[in-house]
Amino acid sequence: MALLEVNGLSIYFYSRNGVVKAVDDVSFSVDAGETLAIVGESGSGKSVTCYSLLDLLPKPPAKIEAGTALFDGIDLLSCDDTQMRRFRSNDIAMIFQDPMTSLNPFISIGEQLIEPLIYNEDKSRRQSRSEARLRAIELLNEVGIMDAERRFDSFPHEFSGGMRQRVMIAMALINEPRLLICDEPTTALDVTIQAQILALIKTLQKKRDVAVIFISHDLGVVAGIADKVVVMCEGTVREANDTEGIFYRTEDDYTRKLLAAIPEGAKVTPSRAEATGEPMIRVDNLKTYFPDYSKTPVGYIRAVDGVSLEIQRGEILGLVGESGSGKSTLGRSILQLAPITAGSINFDGTQLNKLSADHLVPWRRKMQMIFQDPYASLNPRMTVYQTLAEPLLYHGLANAKNIDQQVQHLMDDVGLARNNMRKYPHEFSGGQRQRIAIGRAIATKPELIIADEPVSALDVTIQAQILDLILNLVEKHNLTMLFISHDLSVVRCISDRVVVMNQGVIIETGDTEALWADPQQQYTRDLLAAIPMADPKSERLRTTR
């Protein structure tokens, strides 16, 4: 018998708008020393499934309709609160997606770490504070926190995201659990940190022989870490097999679709950059500093620290970097949305940062932005029609007579059905919203578009559609684009040329394929090496190396 056996699990959510079958007849099992990955897109029920195992779902609205989850022969779904706390304390631990919000900001790291020991539900397993402290420091060292003794009393805000996730892992392991549930543990992290955390989870698992359930939407990550994979879609299991079976011999259409949607390889269409003539955008020695009030005297955060680059008309320039590299600030600085400290930005020979707000208006029409989060960047109280008509009317590109027609054309352009015109943003899915945001950006017939992580918030199948749409629009409207992303695979399949940024400065620039084939800088090499591939064989090769 396996360590955990889930059978026929069904979880429904009851709301005023009806019943949602979040999880519908799901079964799987996982054994000690084994890693089971549950993959699926948002809304597939993968997280709900795992939260129900530790009774972490809000009830109501959630209700477990049917099924059992036998852990060591005891049903997790029907045991009482005390028994559940005992399981949580000693047997099953969980690591969450966002390390920035998963630790209590009011309590020191050390105190949070020792809590499972000093408040253990099982009184015989309780430890004194001093014993627990020693154990915690030992574990902090093991998960790679330097100077653990001193950092024990630090608060979460003094740690970076990667460090916090290490603390979460230490906390999960402190009572030597037999099952570890990881809910997208690396999704919020940079790619190099992700590689470190994945390696850490793997090593710790081998050492302790724990069972791992690994929830992820990223097939690349799954290929490297999982022994078995369950593919979920809309609450049901579409396919369950060993990892190689899923990646190389899948029978299921949905799994195939997921695998096909992974951004891979080079850009297919040739570069449209005009080889000759002046560059469209020239940035010279740009510096954008923000005041840092945490220092005395007030210091500066050098978000962009002396960047020079050129964008040719018609080209798609990829800008990659990890969080905090200054890539978004650079994009905003070019658009005059962030106050620049020094340097110059020229658009077709006009120095934008010398223009007054009034004189900037016609230039604003020529440069538009697409933002990362289509949930936050659209005004929830404006219909699609209003959102798209506003820039047209403001810049005098349409009048009362032809505005309807113009908006309809825009909707055709971005692939939205015309009858959606009077709907509000909340009535659309994430992908459709990003289409609206793109429509708003191209409404003014701009020449330059700065896209700041336009597909990072989207599921992989939707991501592929939006990337296609962007490429089509660039061609159709003869656009020039600065495409900002932390996802190197996405950047590779859309950019003609790539700029790599780190800590406010440009590390390396080059034609995309040349840079991929032969990166000149160590930082770029590390970045490229950290990208997980959706190919179990090569992933395994890499991690054993």
Partner 1 sequence: MWRFALNRLLQAIPVLLIVISATFLLVHSAPGGPFSAEKNVPPEVIKALEAQYNLDQPLWQQYINYLGDVVQGDFGPSFKYSGRTVNELIAAGLPATAELALYAMLVALVIGISAGVTAAMRPNTVQDYLPMSAAMLGICMPSFLLGPLLVLVFGIHLEWLPVSGWGDMPGDKIMPAITLGTGYAAYIARLSRGGMLEVLSQDYIRTARAKGLSEPVIIFKHAMRGGLIPVVAFLGPAFAGLLGGSFVVETIFQIPGLGRFYVQAAFNRDYTMILGMTIFFATLIILFNLLSDMLAIWLDPKLRQQARGNN
Binding site for partner 1 (CB under 8 A): 54, 56, 85-90, 93-94, 96, 98, 101-108, 115-116, 119-121, 155, 157-158, 168, 171, 293-296
Nearest to 94, CA basis, from 54, 60, 67, 66: 54
Measure the CA–CA gap between 215 and 185, rounded to whole angstroms: 8
Measure the CA–CA gap between 479 and 381, rounded to whole angstroms: 30
**186 neighbors 95 (Cβ within 8 angstroms):** no
Tokens of 515: 């840079």
CB of 157 to partner 1, least distance (A): 5
Measure the CA–CA gap between 452 and 475, rounded to whole angstroms: 19
How many angstroms separate the Cα of 407 from the Cα of each of 344, 367, 397, 429? 35, 19, 11, 20
Tokens of 172: 């999960």
CB of 114 to partner 1, least distance (A): 11
Considering the complex, state which of residue 38 and residue 330 has its C-beta at the smaller distance from partner 1: 38
**335 neighbors 450 (Cβ within 8 angstroms):** yes
Considering the complex, state which of residue 50 and residue 303 has its C-beta at the smaller distance from partner 1: 50
Considering the complex, state which of residue 171 and residue 410 has its C-beta at the smaller distance from partner 1: 171
CB of 50 to partner 1, least distance (A): 11
CB of 206 to partner 1, least distance (A): 23
Considering the complex, state which of residue 167 and residue 410 has its C-beta at the smaller distance from partner 1: 167
CB of 9 to partner 1, least distance (A): 19
CB of 482 to partner 1, least distance (A): 33
**503 neighbors 191 (Cβ within 8 angstroms):** no
Considering the complex, state which of residue 53 and residue 464 has its C-beta at the smaller distance from partner 1: 53
| 3-state secondary structure (DSSP) of residue 225 | helix
Measure the CA–CA gap between 491 and 471, rounded to whole angstroms: 12
**66 neighbors 10 (Cβ within 8 angstroms):** yes
Burial tier of 545 (Cβ tally within 10 Å: 0-12, 13-18, 19+): exposed
Considering the complex, state which of residue 125 and residue 422 has its C-beta at the smaller distance from partner 1: 125
**498 neighbors 318 (Cβ within 8 angstroms):** yes
CB of 377 to partner 1, least distance (A): 23
CB of 530 to partner 1, least distance (A): 26
Considering the complex, state which of residue 46 and residue 313 has its C-beta at the smaller distance from partner 1: 46
Considering the complex, state which of residue 293 and residue 380 has its C-beta at the smaller distance from partner 1: 293
- Half-sphere exposure for 514 (CA within 13 Å, toward CB): 9
